Chain A
């Protein structure tokens, strides 16, 4: 250094100083920072489909009602709902004095515009609202009855239409009529507590508080795809909340003294599906699983609690069917791990072990990298099935390009591993995966009339009390002879800094309205 010319030495010192100053930024008390694992792609309300995207959007766009952490619908833009006599018209009354982020009053006309715009085929939207909600409820149209009352018309009575309608992001007519679709994708004009301040694609989204709700002036959503980087940012104190903590890093976070892990039993139902289609019957193992007795036997073969403890680092909430607790049938208990029982039932069903110790061969397909520790979970399940005499031909497939097409064509299996998103607000919502034999999410092709014939009763029932016994009977059938090997509700792990108070929800929704700094 002594031989270094003065100019270079000065330059090095200046650089060191600027780097040091640049690295010493203080955390702002009015800002909360969340590290997400997946990038977001749009702020177009009609195109939003991923959970991360929806979580951010919900801070910008309010709904008519909203869903609280316990699965209860509470008033949001609207304060009351009345149904028309035939049960197909939903009349919402808005709160007075609502405004949009563009400063215009928010009226029933904006709400009607929102629904009709999303449904307009000319816009070619493919998000969750037109692609799932509207088709599920048979959306017809929306009309403003006056400044405060809007009527949403659906094709037929539907016991979960009210819950699904809350998913729609209400946006503001005047601004959206002025914008092209390109502009709308990055310039959301909503009516929620926050507005979009900036969006650096692939890097971060910054929201700025414009209404009373919420304790932080700014919310920064940083996109940090790599799990270990998210953990490092949390432990370093640069981020307050991270999603999708991987089980291997729980200990490191807990040991840091700077953050803790919130583990919640999520609403995603993890199961091993039995594909009962005719095409599947021709494949190895396809014939055996047609018999409900074989499916029931295999329920006893897998040690789910051990899988949860060893591979997911928690005691999972066990599943007895497709419905999330507390809405599940209270009389059902999870199948215990009892390999001897599994073997006895398989013997009784006529699938005794051969000379080579094998009862039958079966193909098991799974996508990789989608769910918490999925590859190890599926390897463990394979081993448990082999222990009771099955010869399992395991295929671990790339999720997006290989497994998803199989899934949508309903041609995986005969055994397949899957997690299906559920909710807390209605047992029927969780059951709609199998609302119809041919529904896109009945990946199993199960067609038991004791289940499918009861849907009409559910639709016609006027009250939750009338529906409950029907639901319980259906769930009993699903438990006894159903097409799923019930595993667990996927635990979700969030890393939360000691700096903030925030409670993780079970339904994968990251809402920060109630988050606050710790005193």
Chain B
């Protein structure tokens, strides 16, 4: 397993370099970023001076290679807008997004499993129809629209939850300030409810359908029929035999979904004024703050790679039939 992990990590370096190259080129396609860092009244001479100051006067390949060279030394460069180390700014925003992503995933999973099971064991009934309809709606509704509707209903009219903002939990926790972190926790959760629902609804809907279909498939298997014919109680058949095996595809999706959610919360973070990495990168892309975008992209790519690896490892643990390529399982 060690060799497998090492090989995957080496491959991931190539992936990260590829990702930085693509994002670098994508940002350059839009033209010279210098214009976004000068006053609207700047003269051509002032623009030229700013271009030199920002390093955009160098050929593209020199700019990119210089960035990669710095990267190898662990220097992600300075954000052009903030004039501070780019990775530091990204890491500052990461805990908020992790809080949002974890909260929405936990919420989605804690509801998706019972709903999926409910639909599967009541296949063809009104329960099944209701859950399936809900799941289809959940996958169809755009999350920004859902977010705005929730703000109107639960934030403005009912006043149950805050409309926007964020109260940090992980940041003080990481800093070792446990008291502040847990003191903040109720307000953190309170602020997470609406954005968490907006982010997590799609995931909830998808996982509900996944649990339902996976469970339905497993319930048709011979070993389930055998368990039932042995006279085991239906609950034991369901939870001990069927659901355990129905987990496999769900685990795969969950692992990948965390990565997707991390990078995909941009719109919801904007709607709820949530200071996470998605909104930061969205602003950085608009501002063409290349070092900041690169730092964010590298971090997200790294997280995604590690999650993929973890999913593969967990998959092998859950399903003894699977083996790691080139490894001994």
Interface residues of A (CB under 8 A from B): 15, 18-19, 21-23, 39, 41-42, 44, 47, 49, 121, 124-128, 131-132, 135-136, 181-182, 185-186, 200-204, 222-226, 228-229, 232-233, 235-236, 238, 400-402, 404-405, 407-408, 420-421, 432-433, 438-441
Contacts and interface: CB of A to CB of B under 8 A. Distances in A.
Interface string B268-284: 00111101100110010
B134 interface: no
Interface size on B, as a range, is 35 or more
Interface in B254-306: 270-273, 275-276, 279-280, 283, 286-288
Contacts of A15: 186, 189
B83 A132 contact: no
Interface stretch (B27-35, B232-240, B315-323): B27-35
B7 interface: no
B37 interface: yes
A439 B42 CA distance: 8
Contacts of B272: 226, 229
Interface stretch (B14-22, B112-120, B157-165): B157-165
Contacts, number: 157
Highest count of chain B CB atoms <10 Å: which of A125, A232, A441: A232
Contacts of B163: 229, 232-233, 236, 238
A185 B82 CA distance: 7
A185 B83 contact: yes
Contacts of A407: 35
B151 A229 contact: yes
B222 interface: no
Contacts of A47: 83
B228 interface: no
Contacts of B46: 131-132, 135, 440
Contact of A233 (B54, B89, B164): B164
Given A44-B83, A405-B32, A405-B35, A440 B41 contact: yes
A517 B44 CA distance: 47
Nearest to A225: B270
Given A201-B92, A421-B40, A225 B273 contact: yes
A42 B93 contact: no
Contacts of A125: 53
Contacts of A405: 30-32, 35
B81 A203 contact: no
Given A201-B89, A226-B271, A440-B47, A232 B152 contact: yes
A405 B33 CA distance: 8
B187 interface: yes
B150 to A, nearest CB: 11
Highest count of chain A CB atoms <10 Å: which of B39, B152, B155: B39
B45 interface: yes
B130 interface: no
A450 B47 CA distance: 28
A411 to B, nearest CB: 11
A202 B279 contact: yes
Contacts of A224: 164, 273
Given A182-B83, A229-B164, 13 more contacts: A19-B186, A41-B81, A41-B82, A201-B82, A223-B275, A225-B270, A229-B148, A232-B163, A232-B164, A236-B163, A400-B30, A408-B47, A441-B40
Contact of B273 (A41, A222, A400): A222
Given A224-B164, A229-B272, A132 B39 contact: yes
B157 to A, nearest CB: 9
Contacts of A182: 78, 83-85
Contacts of B85: 182
Nearest to B54: A126
B273 A440 contact: no
Given A131-B46, A136-B41, A405-B31, A228 B186 contact: no
Given A22-B186, A401-B31, A433 B41 contact: yes
